[in-house]
Amino acid sequence: MSRKKDPSDQPFRDSSAKLDNTAYNNDEDEELLALKRLIYRMPDREAPAGMTESILSSLEPKTVPGWVRIYRWALRPRTVTFQPLKIIPSAMVLVMVLALALQLGPWREEPGSMDPRQASLIPVTFTLSYPEAESVSLIGSFNQWNPAGHKMQQRGERNTWVLELRLPEGRHEYAFLVDGKMVVPDRSSPFYQSDGFGNRNSVLFITRDEAKNI
Amino acid sequence: MALFFAALLIAASISSPSVEAKPADQSVNASVRAASGAGVPEIELNRLLILAVDHRLEDDDVVRLVNVLRTVQTENLPIAPFMGKIEEGLAKQVPLNTIAAVLGQKLDDYRFVIKVLTRKTGEQEITPHDLSRMVGSLDSGITRDELAQFILEASGQDLSMLARATEILALLKQVRFKESLTREIIFIGLRNNSLTQSWDYLARVVATAKRRQIPDDEIARAARQALEASRPFGDFMAALGFTPRDLRHGPAVGRSPERNQ
């Protein structure tokens, strides 16, 4: 270590020098100056070996686990600033990427594909020519005979009531309910079954082969 | 809303008997509990109670209907056809007395068919679907006597095939196919075990063939040949000169209505 200079030997040039200069002019600081001189005249002692290393090692930062650092990072408040005009290109790119992913991704819908439950059903179109009817519903074994479930739509000038449904394969009984009270069988169906109430239900057989035109 | 009330009603009926309920409510509760205890599925009881709310049925009427379902369950008969008939009757605004009478008739039909089958096959089990099919033939134009005679005459022990045969018998009668030829075709199919599922559509093919003026004898010959050789149903159709596409009449199956018109 270098030896310190005696303040009495030369005047101070730094800020402490100014203090010392003023001290010369102040009687109250005489004692302080004397002490200062004594300290500077004391012999220097060498620092113990390894002291520097020990001090430096104690100053080394401790290693913090990764999750703690992430946690702290997540907790740290931030201020985000942006310019709306600069966001537009990024948003456009994001939208394009999403659209592309939907179009080409593995979850895209195959052409003609549908819900498997729907796919197992076969489209059937019921028609009834009944110009005088105010309303027509289709009731049958496939809809628990619920007239509210399947209201038919009037189509064209031919006063034809039409309803398209998807039904499972098999045998179905049905009838048309005209104006909510009159039961009318389907005249175009060759098969029927007595309903026990004095009317006839029409009987429809549906096969998958037919839908596929085999 | 109706579902909510029905669920409340059935929950109250089954789980916690209400001491302070009115006498009429008590009888609905009691009948529902009894039906549930007899094994009537809750889903069916729910359906019935929803209908009762929707159609504003009197408590006594609800009790009558619930009791029918309990009887059906107790006799180990399929519930669905009876439940369907209740729904159908209510949708068609049939008076409840008539609905009850029709249910009684249906119950009797089931008992009759089971009795005939027991005479023929002993205690052999039949699926609910096949049983309902046989009973349904009674609503499709054949009498009890005709059905009983047919079942007893028919050879073979495959009840599924026999159920198909009775349905074909009734449907061919509807399209006025010669009865002697019908019996001949069916008996060949039963004897050879060749009246398989695809022959469910025999009546449709016959109806189409008759519309095309194909004589009954010719239709019967084609069916006989296919059934004797246990050939596919498609061969029978091909022998008559058409494909499934030709069966299209009645509702348009597998196509848009425009093409149907």
Probe site for chain A from B90, B99, B139 (most A CB atoms < 10 A): B139
Q: Give the residue from chain A lying closest to B252, CA to CA.
A: A125
Residue contact A196–B93, C-beta within 8 A? no
Can you give the pLDDT at residue B162? 94
Residue contact A214–B244, C-beta within 8 A? yes
Q: Give the residue from chain B lying closest to A209, CA to CA.
A: B244
Query: From CA A42, how far away is CA B247, in angstroms rounded?
Result: 124
> Chain A closest CA to B36's CA: distance in Å?
22
DSSP alpha helices (H): ranges in chain B? 2-15, 23-38, 42-54, 59-74, 80-91, 96-121, 128-138, 144-153, 159-174, 179-191, 202-211, 216-228, 233-240, 257-260
> Chain A closest CA to B21's CA: distance in Å?
32
State the residue for tokens 């739509």.
A153
Can you give the pLDDT at residue A100? 85
Query: From CA B120, how far away is CA B156, in angstroms rounded?
Result: 10
Domains and CATH numbers, chain A: 1-76 (no CATH), 119-212 (2.60.40.10)
What's chain B's Rg over C-alpha atoms? 23
The per-residue pLDDT for range A128-181, each reduced to its tens digit, is: 999 889 999 999 999 999 988 799 998 876 678 999 999 998 889 999 999 988
User: With a cut of 0.90, is the ipTM above it?
Assistant: no
Can you give the pLDDT at residue A196? 94
Q: Provide the pLDDT confidence category of residue A111 given band limits of 50, 70 and 90.
A: very low
State the residue for tokens 């009537």.
B40
Can you give the pLDDT at residue A78? 80
Interface residue B104 vs chain A (CB under 8 A): no
pTM: 0.68
Residues in chain B closer than 8 A to A139 (CB atoms) = 88, 91-92
Interface residue A192 vs chain B (CB under 8 A): yes
The per-residue pLDDT for range A85-109, each reduced to its tens digit, is: 888 888 899 999 898 887 776 555 5
In this complex, which of B85, B99, B204 lies closest to A205 when CB atoms are compared? B204
Interface residue A147 vs chain B (CB under 8 A): yes
Residue contact A204–B250, C-beta within 8 A? yes
Residue contact B252–A122, C-beta within 8 A? no
Q: Provide the pLDDT confidence category of residue A68 given band limits of 50, 70 and 90.
A: confident
The per-residue pLDDT for range A56-65, each reduced to its tens digit, is: 777 766 677 7
User: Do residues B88 and A195 touch, judged by C-beta distance below 8 A?
Assistant: yes
Residues in chain A closer than 8 A to B87 (CB atoms) = 144-146
Q: Give the residue from chain A lying closest to B102, CA to CA.
A: A196
Reading chain B (261 residues) residue by residue, the pLDDT tens digits are: 455 555 555 555 555 444 344 444 558 999 999 999 999 999 999 999 999 999 999 999 999 999 999 999 999 999 999 999 999 999 999 999 999 999 999 999 999 999 999 988 887 889 999 999 999 999 999 999 999 999 988 876 789 999 999 999 999 999 999 999 999 999 999 999 999 988 998 998 899 899 999 999 999 999 999 999 999 888 999 999 876 565 555 566 654 444 333
Q: Which residues, including other chains, have CB under 8 Å from residue B198's CB and lie 6 or more apart?
A: B232, B233, B234
The per-residue pLDDT for range A21-57, each reduced to its tens digit, is: 554 556 668 888 888 888 888 887 777 888 888 887 7
